[in-house]
Amino acid sequence: MRLLAVTLVMLAACGDGAAGDPDGADDDDAGAGDDADADDDADAHVASATLTPIFDDHRYVPGAMFGGWGPHLGHLVELGAGETRALHWIDDHCDQAVAGDCNVNVDRRLAVLRKDGAAWTAVRTVALPGTVQQNTATIADGATAWTFGIDSGARRVIECRHDATSACAAIPIDTGPMANYVGAAITPAGWRVVWWTNVVDGGGGSFSFLVDYGGGWNGPRTGAIAGYNDCAYAHVAFAPTGDGATFFCQVVSGLAPNWTFSTLVGAARLAIDAPVTWTNALAPPSGDTVMTTSDLWIDPSTGDAHLLARSTAGTSLYYHRPAGGAFGAVALSLPATFRARWLITPSTVALVSGPDAGNASVRTAARTATVAGQPLALVPRLDVTVAGGLIQAIYPTAPVYQRAAPVAQTAVVVTADRQFEAVALDLDW
């Protein structure tokens, strides 16, 4: 594992952002100001960003698997409490310098790294048992993290536990045939949720999830997905009270290679033995269609849902749903923007996006300024020069990936020109 020690610190101002080198990455994964405004905030300071390469063994297979695959997966989590709390990057690992180590059909191992001050320290690598093919999902509670992947041959979910050491084993529950597109999250109550979709080319796929309330895994809770082939790249967010969960996934119809893409929003009760129910809940923008998922967050103070999607034309879209209501029209459009993710801290909601022209843009809204029943009043806060062309994936800390509220203002990015490299983007707004 090669750690990279270069750190770039830059000051950035609001604006349109500098143009980079456009990159046609594969697309098959397929208002009012707030107290962050420097004119209104007595504690305002010049916003800045620090970019620190973490390592250059991020899983990437030239010509077969691009480095931004699985942008819905959790990898960046905080472990520990108080003075021992530290940011960790738990990623799918392969060595580009070793012939055959990076294989699209075999995810061989995980790498666990820890942020110590301004640097990242390699903690260990962890061999994945069985034949995990696609990338993995990580969640955390306190000082423990868990990583999940699908062993497609054995039809099992592989669960790796990380604390003082790491150990992996199969969950003894059959996933069914053609299980794929794993995801994982943890609820505010500490319930762990893992999901996948069973793919049927031409239609008739399904979506399943497991729940562990603390005494072992329950499920699978399996249901149809309105006749679509699969329900992939799924995000989830949890109601502030009760056991309600909202899912958001990309669905596929048709036969390979002539697929078409859309999205569904799902509702589930985690405390009962019932599958997710799905609806076509998003009104498309004029002359366009909603193609794939980007992110989903439910504000625990209001119960409002804030959803990010990407259209067929390549526009990132923000939709808002008031508590107990339905998603309205597009609240914010970011044309020619390949990636967009929420970065949530106790004080701020940040929208981190990667325009097609390269670099990153950050818009923010103060948590204290959110209004129940209204979309977020996001304002441009900073533009960040990111070397490497188009940002193919943004992996933030997020409330659904760890039980303790994230405090790090950090996301990890992977770019088109350096798809084997994971770079930490530390933001100070």
User: Terminus-to-terminus CA distance in the chain, angstroms?
Assistant: 32
Distance in angstroms (rounded) separating the CA atoms of residues 328 and 374: 10
Query: What is the rounded average pLDDT of the residues 64-88?
Result: 96
What domains does the chain contain, in order, with CATH numbers?
8-428 (2.130.10.10)
For tokens 């804030």, what's the residue?
306
> How many angstroms separate the CA atoms of 192 and 146, rounded?
10
Q: pLDDT tens digits for 215-231?
A: 999 999 999 999 999 99
Q: In whole angstroms, give the CA distance from residue 30 to residue 350.
A: 23
pLDDT score recorded for residue 87 = 98
pLDDT of 75 above 70 = yes
CA distances to 137, 143, 220 from 297, rounded to whole Å, are 17, 24, 24
Contact 378, 370 (CB under 8 A): no
Q: Is the pLDDT of residue 2 over 90?
A: no
Gyration radius of the chain over CA positions? 20
What is the predicted pLDDT for the residue at 45? 55
CA distance 318 to 333: 7
Q: From CA 3, how far away is CA 426, in angstroms rounded?
A: 17
Quote the pLDDT of residue 28.
40
Tell me the two tokens of residue 198. 């069973």
Give the torsion sign (CA, 81, 84, 85, 89): negative
